[in-house]
Amino acid sequence: MPIYELAAVGAATCWALTGIIAAGPAGHLGAWAFNWIRQVSVTVLLAIVMLATGVWHQLNVATIGPLAISGLMGIFLGDTLLFATLNRLGPRRAGVIFALNAPMAALLGFVLLGERLPVQVVVGIALTVCGVVLAIIFGKRRDQLHAWEAVKGPLWIGILFGLGAAAGQAVGSVIAKPVMASGVDPFLASMVRVGVAATCLTVLMVLPIQVAKPKAPVTPGVATVTVLVGVLGLGVGMTLLLFALSGGNVGVISTLSATSPVIILPMLWLKTGERPAGGAWIGAVLVAIGMGIIFLR
């Protein structure tokens, strides 16, 4: 079975779910405070698991350094910018920009890691990426007026945030790939990466930086949902991605994990009651075909 590729799709599914659940608390708290709560809570939970299982003995200088940098780029920078994009542009537009992390990662994997892909896989990746982009660009009908379709603030700032999020995710994945291929436990790697990001955000929260402060009070309900988003997106989704990177090609894994905008389509339909446009389903079909080509290579 293509276990690593399936793990990447599992990660995409987790992130699609968090994209739905996170919209409320992320908008309530702001991207910085929202990420701080979820990253600190997940770090604590993963640390407890690692101490209980004894896996923490795998930590050494050779693994901590790259994983720390990977967490700094992929989670601290990438995730924070992604939720900032989500707040400004909504799930649909944020998804199409963030999907660019797949071709970015494939290119970096080729240049930095020497990963080469068969022509069949390149075709599968191209179809999948095109399907994701098509699903989002043409995923809205003219009569859809849900609040998530509104653009908050200048559009170009949201686009820059999205590109930064995509680049952070791609660089973080490429840096983590050699470490994961060496056999490091995915949960341990997640703890290090999330812990570094949580530490950076904690420093920012303590400093007198207004943008890093919560936009509104942290209520028990908001805190609970935020922790849930962290466990699902970072505890489960990110660990699945790292496991996928331990045995899969960076370009392939990044492409499959970037299918969240297509997986989220039926979820958005259920959530908002607004059926995605026909172009979204055409994109979903292209994604299915592209994934099929990748799985059957």
How many angstroms separate the most distant Cα atoms in the chain?
A: 56
Amino acid letter for position 66: P
Q: Could you list the mean pLDDT of each consecutive 10-residue stretch along the chain, which spans 297 residues?
A: 88 88 82 86 92 84 90 88 79 75 84 83 85 73 56 79 91 92 90 92 84 84 92 91 90 86 80 75 83 76
Task: Say what angle helices 250-257 and 278-295 make with each other, to 10 degrees.
Answer: 150
Q: How far from chain centre, in Å, is Cα 5?
A: 16
Which tokens go with 116?
């080469």
117 contacts 125 by C-beta, under 8 angstroms = yes
244 contacts 257 by C-beta, under 8 angstroms = yes
Q: In angstroms, rounded to a whole number, what is the distance separating the alpha carbons of residues 63 and 179?
A: 6
| Residues, the chain | 297
pLDDT of res. 239: 92
pLDDT of res. 148: 53
pLDDT of res. 280: 77
Helix, strand, coil percent values for the chain (each to nearest 5): 80, 0, 20
First to last CA, the chain: 12
- In the numeric block, the tokens 């402060």 are attached to 213
278 contacts 122 by C-beta, under 8 angstroms = no
pTM of the model: 0.83
pLDDT of res. 140: 60
